[in-house]
Amino acid sequence: MSYSFPPVGGAGVQRVVKLAKYLPLHGVRPAVLTVANPSVPLHDASLARDLPAGIEIERARTLEPSYAAKQAGWRLEAQAGRPALRAGFRTAKYLLFPDPQLLWLPGAHRALLSRILSRRDDVVLVTAPPFSQFLLAPLARAARLGVVLDYRDEWTTVRERYEMTRSPVASVLGAPMEGALLRQAHAIVVATEEFRANLLARFRFLDPARVRAIPNGYDSEDFPDDLPAPPADRFVTTYAGTTFTLTSARGLLEAVKLLHERSPELGRLLRVRFLGRVVETELAAFEGTERLGVERPGYLPHAEVVRQLAASHLALCILDDVAGAHSVYPAKIFELMRLGRPVLTLAPPSSALARLVERHALGPVIHPRDPAAIAAELESRLLSFQRGAYRLDSWRNATDVERYDRRALAGEFAVVLREAASSARRPGS
């Protein structure tokens, strides 16, 4: 069960699409329950090419307004001089707890009940966010289906990161609801070891053996042999992904300005591309940077993103120093491992991402809010490029990359799914 599924675009879709693609290799026949009319900012129908022929996909309608209507409401809420309107929107947002996708649950529950009555499934995997989907777990558990809850992100901080708000409803009900739903699961999967440690520390009743860390990864089939090479006349640096609070590029953009001030000749060689959506709260940082070689092509289909990253001298992975960031791996880091281009990671040195990058020898890590250090790193690479000494193959030092192949990761999921199905069938489960 996944709200995020093609034609929805974005990083969160990849995990479930690749599971649908590769679980059959491990003897598991997947079917998908998703939303018929998703209220989302990004669409990428090309991701459906990965789905196996004949896969059963059931789509239930949500009662949410369209994403355009949501945006209009947010703009009205932000207008000064309309306190009653702002209060109304804020109240509605707080009541839709844990997230607005709560309005999908009536349709999703009906679809799940239909499948239960037809005895078509052995186990249900619910992947989140949105975390309202976890509310489907009790019905699956009551029907003696195996229940696996998959945390692609952490519930405790997702609202603050994405919506920049702290709901009083979440403060009171968040932990009790999460704990109650965790008790419905036969198994829990999390995307990082840090998520696992945090979850076990917060909910002491959890059996550590029931909580597995299975990371995101890469699909080798996304990297064809004919990927383009970077250009010879300019130095291309590329970031791929949504730019928002958690991945703010403010320090990098300040570094680009500083580089142009210090070394205008080198600055003219530099192109910095942001592939993906830039949320409204981050747009101000980009003002005036077009003249400095900063480009924002917007959201591109995944296959084109891979090509654009391949046509780069340097790939960027960014994680700002904000609450909740220290246990996160941006999913794109695993594709950058497989791509083999030089990688510059901007992340807090104590973060899980920094430790991952260092463990696999992916390249330097610089604090995202240290423009001087970032500018110095860019200047060093530009000087090497200007002299003709910048070699892409000299950076292929990543180690133990095979650990993150999607085929292998699907096998880990298959083990968890079988264990959950078996547990659900035991007397007294």
Prediction pTM value: 0.91
CA distance 337 to 172: 41
Structural domains of the chain in order of their starting residue, each with its CATH number: 11-217+406-425 (3.40.50.2000), 220-403 (3.40.50.2000)
Q: Taking the alpha carbons of 417, 418, 419, 423 in that order, is the dihedral positive or negative?
A: positive
- C-alpha pair distances (Å), 198 with each of 98, 175, 203, 324, 326: 19, 13, 9, 11, 11
Model pLDDT for residues 345-387, shown as the tens digit of each residue: 999 999 999 999 999 989 999 999 999 999 999 999 999 999 9
Task: Compute and round to an integer the Cα radius of gyration of the chain.
Answer: 22
CA distance 347 to 251: 11
Supply angle C-alpha 183, 189, 194, rounded to 5: 105
Query: What are the residues whose beta carbons fall under 8 Å from the beta carbon of 85, sequence distance 6 or more?
Result: 76, 77, 79
Q: Taking the alpha carbons of 190, 194, 197, 200 in that order, is the dihedral positive or negative?
A: negative
pLDDT in tens, the chain (429 residues): 999 999 999 878 999 999 999 999 999 999 999 999 999 988 999 999 999 999 999 999 999 999 888 777 777 666 655 666 666 766 777 778 888 899 999 999 999 999 999 988 999 999 999 999 999 999 999 999 999 999 999 987 665 554 445 566 667 778 899 999 999 999 999 999 999 999 999 999 999 999 999 999 999 999 999 999 999 999 999 999 999 989 999 999 999 999 999 999 999 999 999 999 999 889 999 999 999 999 999 999 999 999 999 999 999 999 999 887 888 889 999 999 999 899 999 999 999 999 999 999 899 999 999 999 999 999 999 999 999 999 887 556 667 888 899 999 999 999 999 999 999 988 766
Q: Whose CA is closest to 323, among 160, 197, 90?
A: 160
- C-alpha pair distances (Å), 329 with each of 56, 138, 202, 308, 336: 31, 30, 20, 21, 12
For 165-282, where are the alpha helices, taking DSSP H only?
168-182, 193-202, 250-262, 264-267
Write the burial class of residue 119 (CB in 10 Å: 0-12 exposed, 13-18 middle, 19+ buried): exposed
Rounded to a whole number, what is the distance in angstroms from the first to the last CA of the chain?
22
Residue matched to tokens 């007294």 = 428
Model pLDDT for residues 54-94, shown as the tens digit of each residue: 999 999 999 999 988 877 777 766 665 566 666 676 677 77
